[in-house]
Homo-oligomer: A and B are copies of this chain.
């Protein structure tokens, strides 16, 4: 008996039928869904892999073409392709724009249990003693607590796998989507989507009929409850390097006399941000828009999960002491995401290193401009007595300035928010409830960044983030993984979104 003729799937509203069809389909075809997903995950996808990014784009072009979409690779010079797609259904009541990204963060391969582009299934999380196991054979039952380890298993390839399976499930059950779809698959999200503005300038017309954008990205709530998210913080980042002598010096023969870059950097960073994370840079918090009433109501309705999270993460306290996680994300933040000078551990050498570097990640709230905030950081560095350069200083420069900092800025983008009282929000919430049996948490903003502003502020359309992956997925870090229960949630949810 085919899914289409199963009585179970024939009853109820299209939305109910779609969710049922998704469940029946993924239970029957779990192993082949995972196999196709692993093929996708095995294609390297960092910004350093130009050729790999193109292979990812081709994979998506073919996979969605097989699901009846008209696919096309858009190109601008010196950028990975945007994968465009269109899937029209006669009688559709709306057009949804679907944003996903196929690129991933650098992997730091040496710290992975398995190579990051060799997807490996574990019977539970590594931290809980998970053991690798083969992919399931056709017909073999799948434990939803299994974890699939690979770069981008969660961020952001999981939503592609879920959407492909959701389409297959609807087709298998002869259920027609109620929305036309327009796809925009980004290949530079993890690099701050620097070419997306150019792409939208050239190709924006292709998306003129989109009524609302869904960003299929990011994790569900740490409590594993579903959530819909109406904004994202903006981003800015810079790398700061301070200098000692032109070459590393023997720490005995020069220790006391030689300037120590690690010490200088420690003072510089300590002057920027206190131990709790309050930023001490003049003007850093200027211009941040106050939290609106509707957003305040959502924040107040969020469950207090911080104690559980602290327990899970092994933290007695937090950065901004006493500020709940969801509140802390309404503000801009400054994070030391990397430190490097000389070496530590087994390879430590008795040197005064010649330089020390810090990589600084800044997240922006609405009202912050990325260039302005980086300018304020640089003003602060100058006020600590540093001469700022853009490239490694030459000998002359070194002999003209007692303290030199090389600052390399990475292009950022501003925060964005979609109003939480639009009609589409209620429709989406009902779809989530149909897929999970419980209403989603409604969250004013993600702490993470997405180029949402291009859609809300440039294209001027609502944009809602619809996350599916587990929060404990090690995204951006070694041993990124996806909990299969979250993949299944994605299949069910996306089937619902297409028929809501």
Contact = CB atoms under 8 A, between A and B. Distances in A.
B267 A275 contact: yes
B361 A255 contact: yes
Given A106-B346, A106-B347, A323-B256, A262 B399 contact: no
A436 to B, nearest CB: 21
Contact of A398 (B246, B274, B315, B393): B315
B353 A343 contact: no
A319 interface: yes
Nearest to A219: B253
Contacts of A400: 316
Contact of A262 (B254, B350, B358): B358
Nearest to A354: B477
A478 B247 CA distance: 10
Interface centre among A313, A337, A358 (most CB of B within 10 A): A337
A454 interface: no
A257 B309 CA distance: 11
Given A339-B356, A343-B338, A245 B349 contact: no
A458 interface: no
Contacts of A314: 245-246, 393, 395, 398-399
Contact of A338 (B259, B334, B344): B344
A32 interface: no
Interface in A269-317: 269-270, 273-275, 277, 310-311, 313-317
Contacts of A311: 399
Interface in A313-353: 313-320, 323, 325, 328-329, 331, 333-353
B257 A328 contact: yes
A177 to B, nearest CB: 31
A316 B398 contact: yes
Contacts of A358: 262, 344
Interface in A455-495: 471-472, 474-478
Contact of A319 (B250, B259, B275, B472): B259
Interface in A382-426: 393, 395, 398-402
Interface in A178-200: 190
A255 to B, nearest CB: 4
A45 interface: no
A252 B233 contact: yes
Interface centre among A233, A247, A399, A400 (most CB of B within 10 A): A247
B337 A339 contact: no
Contacts of A2: none
Interface stretch (A20-28, A67-75, A138-146, A441-449): A441-449
Given A269-B266, A275-B267, A260 B352 contact: no
B350 A344 contact: no
A325 B253 CA distance: 9
Interface string A425-457: 000000000000000000000111100000000
> Closest 4 CB pairs between A and B?
A252-B448, A262-B336, A314-B398, A255-B333
Given A237-B350, A339-B341, 17 more contacts: A106-B347, A106-B349, A252-B448, A258-B318, A262-B336, A265-B339, A266-B266, A267-B275, A310-B399, A314-B398, A315-B399, A316-B400, A337-B351, A338-B345, A339-B339, A340-B340, A345-B359
19 contacts: A106-B343, A106-B348, A108-B343, A219-B253, A256-B333, A257-B320, A258-B319, A259-B318, A264-B275, A266-B267, A267-B275, A316-B400, A316-B401, A317-B402, A336-B341, A338-B349, A339-B340, A342-B359, A350-B476
